[in-house]
Amino acid sequence: MIHKIEHVDDGFVRVHRSSVLTGNINSMVLPTRQGNLEHWEDWGLNAHDMFPHFNGDQIQFLITGIIPEEMDETHSFTAISLDARED
């Protein structure tokens, strides 16, 4: 669920969304308009179909609320945890 949408510039909005990974509220600037996001969320449309111009990080954020930095931190923690079990 999108928590907040802020207009940044013509054709760009900052979206605030809760991460399914950590529960943190993350934000990202996306190249779209508020009405497009509201339409996507209200109708449950496929994000890849609705926003074909979004890159992988933008789609992941829109669907899950996860930002790249959060994913990097989680992968680092997982790798450390797995290494510890090998001892």
Summarised one tens digit per residue, pLDDT across range 52-77 is 999 999 999 999 999 999 877 766 55
Rounded Cα distance between 33 and 14, Å, is 10
Please say whether the beta carbons of 57 and 11 come within 8 A. no
Q: In the prediction, which pLDDT does 65 show?
A: 95
What is the extent of the structural domain holding 54? 2-85
Q: How many residues does the chain have?
A: 87
Q: Is 48 left (phi over 0), alpha (psi -120 to 50) or beta?
A: alpha
pLDDT band at 14 (very low <50, low <70, confident <90, very high): very high
Question: How many domains, the chain?
Answer: 1
> Is the pLDDT at 33 greater than 90, yes or no?
yes
